[in-house]
A and B are shown apart, each in its own frame.
Chain A
């Protein structure tokens, strides 16, 4: 097992370097750099010397491969340098926002699991009934409805409902307070983006639960369980559902890694100052260093999550043993 873990960790390195190459050179292809943009914003006349100074301060006048080596060393030592836009350390900027995004991501996962597993199970057990069709339609709608629009609709719904009920329209709070400082305020703000993102997330998981359970229900050991007179509830809960969880866990894990991407739009709608919003801003400001760091962070989360999923496999399914 330990040999497998070691091998698996080693295999992450080429993916990370590849992602680094891709994002680094993609960013360098952008016409116009952060210095030009910064001076263009002032609207004043700037001479070339000023731009050159700015470039040499940021180190973007050095040869490409030197910059790239610098970037990769920085990544593997977790030292990303400073933001080219705000001048503050990148890890500090990310640290400010990471908590919020992580909390929304975890809450969205909870929302998704709470919706997906019961619905998926019902849909499989009642296969081809109206209930099954209703659940499947609900799930496909989850994939089709853009989460940013769902977010707008949630805000609109809240405004209208609170206006009707209390007479005063209520909106989720805009300022962020950590959950241990003011839990009610925190939940009131973050539950809505979590629902908007979680619904979409649940759609994929519902479909996976349904098809995995359908497959398991056709297995011989389910027939055996029924034949020995077990009540259906125990057959489903103990024998079927547990064995159907393997692909569901995979999809939940993979989607969790991609949740960081989904947050890009949701944070925009709810005006949350999280990682996603920081990403959009850094792309718009041509802040190479920040964009690169954020992309690498997302890729790192993805690679590590995949690794954890693989380990979960062995734990969930005793038939799988890595050597």
Chain B
């Protein structure tokens, strides 16, 4: 039987106290985290833009109007057109779809894989833990973009491959954090109780341990979405991410943006603002989630 330490008891107690309905929690959060709410608004705006893209703009993102190439912003083309005569506003709106799709897929897959591996590593311990942690060490010795580029080089460019390339560096990051939290959970008697009842390893990991490391998991998840959007933009900018004619913000900065920076600055300005704003929103929101969920930071 494992020894229950004070910290884990406290964690349990805290959990009992914190069974407030979600809307009350949301209201408290809005009062305590005005900055986080600002982030949430940006995120929701992005979601709104990508869902209602066809209503918000009369153009198709791949429609070329060759008589209107590099038109400055005006009433028809709110943000001007690019060197192929495509409406930049439209491509920004549809670009939100690509960014959110890549961001959420990569963050979800990466964070969940990391969650399962991290909890499993803590649960099984021993050789499995040791070997897995050394493998994670190796992955973490690579700068994010270098590893992502190497994966894209192997798989080839394109939206799906970019998601895989971004997901892979996320897994060890998440696994590492989740593992350290799960190590404390393993010592709590209900894990022993579950084992005594004869539940399988998979059930204990997924049903009993994973839900209790949700706080660090959610913090990482919200950080991952922003990171993934930024990474996708970087890869696309380098020409090794999302491919034309799919509208993607990073791609819009490739080629044309630099070449026409002086004569047509709107080509370079808007996509960059879109990327920055999106990542900014997710980061603000993520910080607020962290401050709300991490009791050690609450008093600050």
Q: Which residues of A contact B (CB under 8 A)?
A: 14-15, 18-19, 21-23, 26-27, 29-31, 127, 133, 136, 140-141, 143-146, 148-150, 152-153, 155-156, 159, 169, 214, 257-258, 260-262, 264-265, 268-269, 279-280, 283-284, 286, 291, 295, 298-299, 302-303
Contact = CB atoms under 8 A, between A and B. Distances in A.
B240 A283 contact: yes
Given A152-B253, A152-B258, A258 B272 contact: no
A52 to B, nearest CB: 23
B237 interface: yes
B1 interface: no
Given A141-B276, A150-B272, 16 more contacts: A15-B137, A15-B138, A19-B142, A30-B154, A145-B276, A146-B237, A146-B250, A146-B272, A149-B275, A149-B276, A152-B272, A153-B269, A156-B261, A156-B268, A159-B262, A302-B142
B233 interface: yes
Interface in B257-285: 257-258, 261-262, 265, 268-269, 271-272, 275-280, 283-284
23 contacts: A19-B142, A21-B138, A26-B154, A29-B154, A133-B35, A140-B280, A143-B279, A143-B283, A146-B233, A146-B275, A149-B276, A150-B272, A156-B262, A156-B268, A169-B262, A264-B146, A264-B238, A265-B145, A265-B238, A269-B258, A283-B152, A295-B142, A303-B141
Contacts of A14: 134, 137
Closest 8 CB pairs of A and B: A261-B143, A18-B138, A149-B272, A144-B279, A144-B280, A283-B153, A258-B143, A145-B276
From B35, B137, B150, B257, residue with most partner A Cβ within 10 Å: B150
A268 B287 CA distance: 31
Contacts of A258: 143-144
B151 interface: yes
B239 to A, nearest CB: 8
Nearest to B283: A140
A15 B149 contact: no
B23 to A, nearest CB: 27
A88 B272 CA distance: 38
Contacts of B150: 23, 26-27, 283, 291, 295
Contacts of A283: 149-150, 152-153, 240
Interface string B177-201: 0000000000000000000000000
Contacts of A279: 146, 149
B261 to A, nearest CB: 5
Contacts of A299: 141-142
A302 B154 CA distance: 23
Contacts of A261: 143-146
Nearest to B139: A22
B230 interface: yes
Interface string B283-296: 11001000000000
A257 to B, nearest CB: 8
Number of chain B interface residues as a range: 35 or more
B145 A18 contact: no
User: Does more than half of chain B's interface fall in helix, strand or loop, or is it mixed?
Assistant: helix
User: Does more than half of chain A's interface fall in helix, strand or loop, or is it mixed?
Assistant: helix
Contacts of B144: 258, 261
A195 B87 CA distance: 32
A15 B141 contact: yes
B268 A144 contact: no
Interface in B199-227: 226
B238 A291 contact: no
Nearest to B271: A149
B143 A262 contact: yes
B300 interface: yes
Contacts of B287: 140
Given A27-B154, A265-B234, A298 B146 contact: yes
B183 to A, nearest CB: 21
A152 B257 contact: yes
B146 A148 contact: no
Contacts of A268: 237-238
B226 to A, nearest CB: 7
A145 to B, nearest CB: 5
From B145, B250, B277, residue with most partner A Cβ within 10 Å: B145
B117 to A, nearest CB: 16
Contact of B141 (A19, A29, A31, A153): A19
From A22, A150, A286, residue with most partner B Cβ within 10 Å: A22
A145 B272 contact: yes
A265 B277 CA distance: 20
A28 B258 CA distance: 34
A280 B149 contact: yes
Contacts of B240: 280, 283-284
Contacts of B234: 146, 148, 265
